[in-house]
Structure 1
């Protein structure tokens, strides 16, 4: 059976277009998707659990290379760069139900930690005698939101190597490590770097 010359010509034109245009476009999309998975991404903050540092609706730049060079589309690091440090704001999936979360690293492997009245106590620190909204986490001085109290108490426990405790800055309104437990360091997708868009304020660059 002979193929109609008109149909054959049309098929050749379509195949030629696919080779010249569609295939390179598909490769570009795959490369951009892989880069987003391995290099940088963004996160939309859904709740107020990290107030005042993060507000609901904030859009945040996430450095996917902060803790390692990751195999695209996985959480497997090809090369480990650094471990999460106290004070880092990290993105990960909740061990409880898989929901994507953003929290602050409160304590890392080897540290003894507890939370009392919403205040973080590391290596046997005493609770502050005055009610202050400021707290030091690692080398960072952060501002807490205790408007809804301190939430659940936790510990004292010594964090095993390879795991961390994560907390929300809005201690009385955060579902965090006090409820779902410690998180393995290899569970983090990356470190949140800055807020690049805030509802009502528009675009900007607010480092975390």
Structure 2
């Protein structure tokens, strides 16, 4: 064993440094589901900035210092409050915000979002093709960013909730695919300590549900290109 370690110390050092980098600086995460359509697709691999919010001891969740705070509209990775699964969703409401959804329209601090139809297409839910509407959602004067979301008017979904005021140290997360996402409407609010990092862009992408062809037009694509 000692001989093997001595002969492979360079490789072992690389593995340690690789682990330190992925747990403390930046990470890359594959997208396994449709919950962030139309902005993230199954087969995308996204770059996650792990020092966007906290500086942590490598290979641990011990926080050394806070480096920033999430903003409305950030796409973030976090551990689910129910079970600890790594998820990726969008920050919709911050601590102190009062948030509500009425018939799919989102309200933050009493201000309703404005919507504009971008595209109508088909999406797959449970193996069936359903009508999908891609909308540009914006909050004039209420903070946050303009983003594209998707709704599926033909399926049953949680289109109403609240109003609720987000407590200190917690965040309300929604998937961009509003009618097909297990987000804060299912798992509850997300404590800050469960945040992992801010997703920045698509590194690479391949159609793994089809022919595995690379989607080169998505390589390096910013996740905030609609702002």
1:81 aligns with 2:67: yes
Residue 131 of structure 1: how far off its partner (Å): 6.5
Q: After TM superposition, give the deviation of residue 147 of structure 1 in Å.
A: 2.1
Extract structure 1 runs of 4+ deviating beyond 6 A: none
Does 2:177 align with 1:191? no
Q: Which runs of 5+ in 1 are unaligned?
A: 1-13
- Secondary structure in 2 aligned to 1:47? coil
Distance (whole Å) between structure 1 residues aligned to residue 53 and residue 70 of structure 2: 7
- Alignment gaps of 5+ in structure 2: 118-134, 207-213
Q: Number of residue pairs matched?
A: 193
Offset of residue 17 of structure 1? 6.9
Describe the superposition over 1:18-74 as per-residue Cα deviations: whole angstroms up to 9, x where unpaired: 43x323432331121111100011011011111111111111001111101112222
In structure 2, distance between residues paired with 1:205 and 1:17: 39
Indicate the SS of the match to 1:83: coil
Q: Secondary structure at the match of 1:205?
A: coil
Q: Which has the larger radius of gyration?
A: 1
2:169 equivalent in structure 1: 162
User: Which runs of structure 2 are paired with 1:56-71 in the superposition (5 Å)?
Assistant: 56-71=42-57
- How large is the RMSD of aligned CA atoms in angstroms? 2.2
SS of the counterpart of 1:207? coil
1:1-208 superposed matches below 5 A: 18-19=5-6, 21-126=7-112, 132=117, 133-136=135-138, 138-148=143-153, 151-152=157-158, 153-199=160-206, 200-202=214-216, 204-208=219-223
| TM-score scaled by length of structure 1 | 0.84
